[in-house]
Chains A and B, each alone.
Chain A
Amino acid sequence: MNEDAEIVAEFLVESHENLDQLDRDLVELEQSPGSRELLSSIFRAIHTIKGTSGFLAFGRLERLTHHGENLLSRLRDQKMTMTTEVAEVLLLMVDTVRGLLDAIERDGNDADPAVAVESVVERLEAVLEGRPAPASAPAAEPVAAPVAEAPPVEAPVAEPVVAPVVAAPVAVEATPEPALEQVEQAVGGTTEEVEATSVVAPPVPPAEAVPAATAPVPVPAPAPAPVPVPVSAPAAVHEEPEHGEDESGPRRVVDASVRVDVDLLDGLVQLVGELVLTRNQILQRTDVTHAGGADPDLVRAAQRLDIVASELQENVMRTRMQPIGQVWAKMPRMVRDLAHQLGREVNLELEGHETELDRTLLEALKGPLTHLVRNSLDHGLEPPADRVAAGKPAAGRLHLRAFHESGQVVIEITDDGRGIDPDRIGAAAVSRGVVSRDALTRMEPRQILDLIFRPGFSTAEQITNVSGRGVGMDVVRTSIERIGGTVDLLSSVGLGTTVRVRIPLTLAIIPALVVGERGDRYAIPQANLVELVRLEGRDLEGQVEVLADAPVLRLRGRLLPLVSLGDVLGLERVEHDHLTVVVVQADDVHFGLCVEEVHDTQEIVVKPIGRQLKSLPMYAGATIMGDGRVSLILDVAGIARCRSLEAAQDQHDDVRTGHVDSSALLVLEVAQGRRAALPLTAVSRLEEFPMDRIERSGGVEVVQYRDGILPLVRLAPAIGLPSSPTTEDLLSVVVHEDGDHRVGIVIDRVLDVVDETVVASEVGRRPGVLGSAVVQDKVTDLVDLDAVVRPMLAGAASMAGAR
């Protein structure tokens, strides 16, 4: 309902604007009746209102504007000429439209009987058919006029519908005087007077009088006046305070918002940026430590300026923020159409309408979001029959959720469809040449899912006209990364898929770390920042090693490539007795950027740089510091690119740095204190065997276990570590089962089972080890189980085959 309300509010604002224009146009049209341009403009305005009201199911409004449109189209096509009479009717229609819009705003619908649509429609038809208007509505007209002219009535009623009648030419036929008196009396409010005026009622056709008289709201437009007015006069009086409230209290939709040109807003943002910089300069000059005996009044004024400027900046930035509800509002219709087209049943759930983000980002998000929703409907949700067969409700669920999380906007698109099958993705990726079969076998399910973001990938077996044209997820990822965001995907087969999009709140102002190099300052966006490391003396010697001219840092068991900012900038090398490393990440690459100085973090306003500098990959833009000087913003991804850090990445694509996996791990100790981890799913049992039960079969250690022979493999040598001398009487063994075959993996001891998100790194990759990760704050080898047990299983299989 929420989005409906928003659409209606938008419609109201737009329509009121249209109507104001319409009034001006109509009046102008009377001066130059032949102007097709004006007529077209009026026609368009009414047509727009008609169209939207039809869409929003405001039947009366639609009916009214439909007739108005008929008349206008005849005028426009010059089948009729503009006369005062026609203008009257049109203005009357415009005011009735306005009355209906007010009713919609007040009640949420256009059913308010106080706004008489029928009589206006009749008059419109009369004019259209060329009948003289007065003849067509003899009863309504004469009475309508006097009522309208009665000022006391008009005031309390506050229904603009009354207004047009004021000038109705037909009023001549009426006798305003008595009516006016009566109305005045009526508003005065005694029962007798009401009765008295009731006497005047007869000329009014009962049909018209009845609805009007029963109306809860005062004057029924151009409808039969004397009767309803007195009758409803108490109501009018009663109503009055409410209207009063409307004016002074909560503002109406139309009054509460102003449309502002986007350029003007952008200009404001820029000016505020300048103001903030100027403020910073003034603050520096009035700083007590700086200025010594600064004028205390000036200092106070500067502090006040500081506060005002900060608030102004915040507010101006907020003008650029828009709720995501704007995008949400368009979803129900789109989902409905798509579901219809694809033969799906969908329950759409929308959450987080009020989540705000910068309008430029919102704009940039529309395309990708639309695409993701389409994908969910087309590839995610199954046709109803399939769903029922799978034991799910026929109607699929599509949940869109937006929320703020740690300075970012997160948007989740969740469906409860068939999920994404890594095997299918893998097969498709191989057949399309996205990855080699070899590389695929070494990938984990999550990495395989990630393949759908590769260019030229589409798994739609059937190409529909909705999605599946082979462009898609890669475009989604590219466009989201362009605005500084990320996309990732979680899916479980048969249960559904969640796509999570993270984007910054705004691009205009970002937090950044300011670093110094040879006296110049450079800004590193906080989004790229991981940590700061300072090394001196012995740490410097012990933890930094130079491999083939490439310095690397041992950081908690991981090897981090080091890049000197001075080198990146092409400056001469300077030796230091210490090293300040800013650990940064971009895309999936981590590296350490060595800088001379670290200043502080601050909010910077990102500004574009000229085309003369566009070819330099290491700069993302520039900003202005507190002292008014320009600083360049470093592009971490660009630096990684121009230092060829990505190339190395691609070669080991199968185990990607920064890859996130959250499966449970069994953490072990091997080789006296070294840590290793196995996926818990690979472990069937943990056993301890007394040393004396170990027997030998060929070159293999075995134990008798469960009526069979369990071959043992010592983990330490299998993963390239020195085997530990066996000191204990008991041997700890992890039993791994693969079909009918079992292998025992000998370890020192089990440390823990963890179920935490693990960031795998390719560091430490070697035969038997996939890579390493930080588990429970310690570097842990991730065991390549297949490589460790394969020789044993192969042996067992061949033995079985021999028998």
Chain B
Amino acid sequence: MTTTPTAPARPDAIDAGQPSLAAQYCTFWVDGLHLGLGVEHVQEVLRYQQLTRVPNAQSTVRGLINLRGQIVTALDLRSRLGLPPRDADALPMNVVVRSRGEVAALLVDDIGDVMDTAGHRLQPTPANLPPTVQEVVLGVVPLSDSILLILDADRAVDVPHAPDTHAIGGKP
């Protein structure tokens, strides 16, 4: 599960100017950004699912969904990337991602096509992108009509330990 056979996108590889492997990317849109995840990381794509909220969890954790009997944590990719929140009435889609033996769902605005990036080079992430985006993006692939940001699946579903969990604490 955790192996990423087609992961070409280590920064050193990019520097060497190697073309990315002829990989397919599942793409989606978040706050106008065109993002892609290697299809080998994506289990499936689901329309909006009812969420059970998890009090005290970090804000990125939007809740839990029942994926055919399996309990999957839903993470808001907007929050993960430090982007502004979605409109209250807009229902996000779920991109179900496998990472380190677990499954998590990324909440995205809209689903795009599956793209074959054969012939395209993976380029380093532009340095002026916000650090919260840089952190989870492996590199970019400039396409004719948009720039695809390739996500690191493991990092995208990891929620950094923010010190905002003190709400749980009792009396000192």
DSSP class of A's interface residues: helix, strand, loop or mixed? mixed
Write out the residue numbers on chain A whose beta carbons fall within 8 Å of the beta carbon of B159: 612
Whether A619 pairs with B54 at a CB distance below 8 angstroms is yes
Q: How many A-B residue pairs have CB under 8 A?
A: 89
Any A CB within 8 A of the CB of B136: no
A613 touches B61 (CB 8 A): yes
Of the candidates A270, A274, A549, A613, the one having the most CB atoms from chain B within 10 angstroms of its own CB is: A613
State how many residues of chain A have any CB contact under 8 Å with chain B: 35
Given A622-B71, A631-B52, decide whether A612 and B157 contact each other with a Cβ distance below 8 A.
Answer: yes
A664 CA to B157 CA in the complex, in Å? 60
Within 8 Å by CB of B170, from A619, A624, A631, A644, lies: A644
Closest partner residue, chain B, to A278 (CB atom):
B69
Residues of A near B57 (CB, < 8 A) are: 612-613, 616
Q: Which residues of A contact B68 (CB under 8 A)?
A: 274
A624 to chain B, nearest CB (A): 5
Which B19-75 residues sit within 8 Å CB-CB of chain A? 50, 52-58, 60-61, 63-66, 68-73, 75
Q: For the complex, what is the distance from the CA of A270 to the CA of B56, rounded to whole Å?
A: 28
Q: Are B69 and A270 in contact (CB under 8 A)?
A: yes
Q: In this assembly, does B116 line the interface, its C-beta being within 8 Å of a C-beta of chain A?
A: no
What residues of B have a CB within 8 angstroms of the CB of A570 in the complex? 55-56, 167-168
> Known contacts being A608-B71, A612-B61, is A617 close to B168, with CB within 8 Å?
yes
Q: Does B15 reach chain A (CB closer than 8 Å)? A: no
Contact partner of B56 (CB less than 8 A), chosen from A277, A569, A608, A643, is A569
Which of these, B60, B66, B100, B165, contacts A628 with CB under 8 Å? B66
In the complex the two chains form, is A642's CB within 8 Å of B168's CB?
yes
Q: Tell me if A273 counts as interface (CB < 8 A to partner B).
A: yes
Instruction: Tell me if A642 and B66 are in contact (CB < 8 A).
Output: no
Q: Is the CB of B73 within 8 A of A613?
A: yes
CA distance A520 to B158 in the complex (A): 26
Q: Judge if B84 is at the interface, Cβ distance under 8 Å.
A: no
| A611: nearest chain-B partner, CB-CB | B102
The interface bits of chain B over 105-141 (1 if a CB of A lies within 8 angstroms of the residue's CB, else 0) are 0000000000000000000000000000000000000
> Which residue of chain A has the shortest Cβ distance to B169 in the bound complex?
A642
In-complex Cβ contact of B65 among A615, A618, A630 (8 A): A630
Which of chain B's residues have a CB closer than 8 A to the CB of A390?
A: none
Q: Which residues of B contact A (CB under 8 A)?
A: 50, 52-58, 60-61, 63-66, 68-73, 75, 100, 102-104, 157-159, 161, 165, 167-172
New A-B contacts (13) at CB < 8 Å, excluding given A613-B61, A613-B73, A631-B52: A550-B171, A570-B55, A571-B55, A607-B69, A607-B71, A610-B102, A615-B165, A616-B54, A617-B168, A622-B52, A624-B69, A632-B52, A644-B171
Q: Which residues of A contact B (CB under 8 A)?
A: 270-271, 273-274, 277, 520, 549-550, 568-571, 607-613, 615-619, 622, 624, 628-632, 642-645
Question: Can you list 29 A-B contacts with CB-CB less than 8 angstroms, sorted by A residue number?
Answer: A270-B70, A271-B69, A550-B171, A569-B55, A570-B55, A570-B167, A570-B168, A571-B55, A607-B71, A609-B64, A610-B72, A610-B73, A610-B103, A612-B57, A612-B158, A613-B57, A613-B73, A615-B161, A616-B57, A618-B168, A619-B54, A622-B64, A624-B69, A629-B52, A629-B66, A632-B52, A644-B170, A644-B171, A644-B172
